Amino acid sequence: MIEETDIITYIPQRYPMVMLGSLLFADQQEVRTRFNIKEDNIFVENGCLMAPGIVENIAQSVAARAGYLARLQNAEVPTGFIGAVQNLEILELPKVGDVIETTVVLGHEIFNATIVTGTVRLNEKIIAHCKMKIFVSS
């Protein structure tokens, strides 16, 4: 598990755009992260983390996996970007003080694009999910 103080060594994002707190698990097919919603978060509005923050949390979870695996091989952390978001469903917006856990399962990888399915949970209840296409630069 990688704590918040170290997470930025595994992702290309920098504050105030960091939407992860810790990396719980990462392997070739899956990644799990945790994030504590704080009041000063750039995507918090009216006490809730808004949809762009949730989408960014899912994308950064993918980035944390790629960065973690790259660091294991003494390689640089790759950069990437969201190519598409499909079937986004947000069932509940997490509030300031909530801790969300995000699981992303990798699907198809075609050239430099990866299709993933992300699920965000609050107290083990699914609050958001989507499919996402992520492009990684080499």
Read off the tokens for 29.
């097919």
Token digits of residue 65: 């996996």
Give percent above pLDDT 70 in the chain: 96
pLDDT for res 63: 93
Residue 35 pLDDT level (bands cut at 50, 70, 90): very high
Counting the structural domains of the chain, the total is 1
Torsion of CA 38, 116, 121, 67, to 10 degrees: -50
CA dist 72 to 1, 60, 66, 77, Å? Answer: 14, 18, 10, 10
Question: For 44-68, what is the mean pLDDT?
Answer: 96
Contacts of 80 (CB under 8 A, 6+ apart): 12, 59, 62, 63, 66, 134, 135, 136, 137
Average pLDDT estimate for 59-72:
93
pTM: 0.94
Could you read off the pLDDT of 14-31 as tens digits, one per residue? 999 999 999 999 999 999
Tell me, what CATH number does 125's domain have? Answer: 3.10.129.10
Domain around 125: 4-137
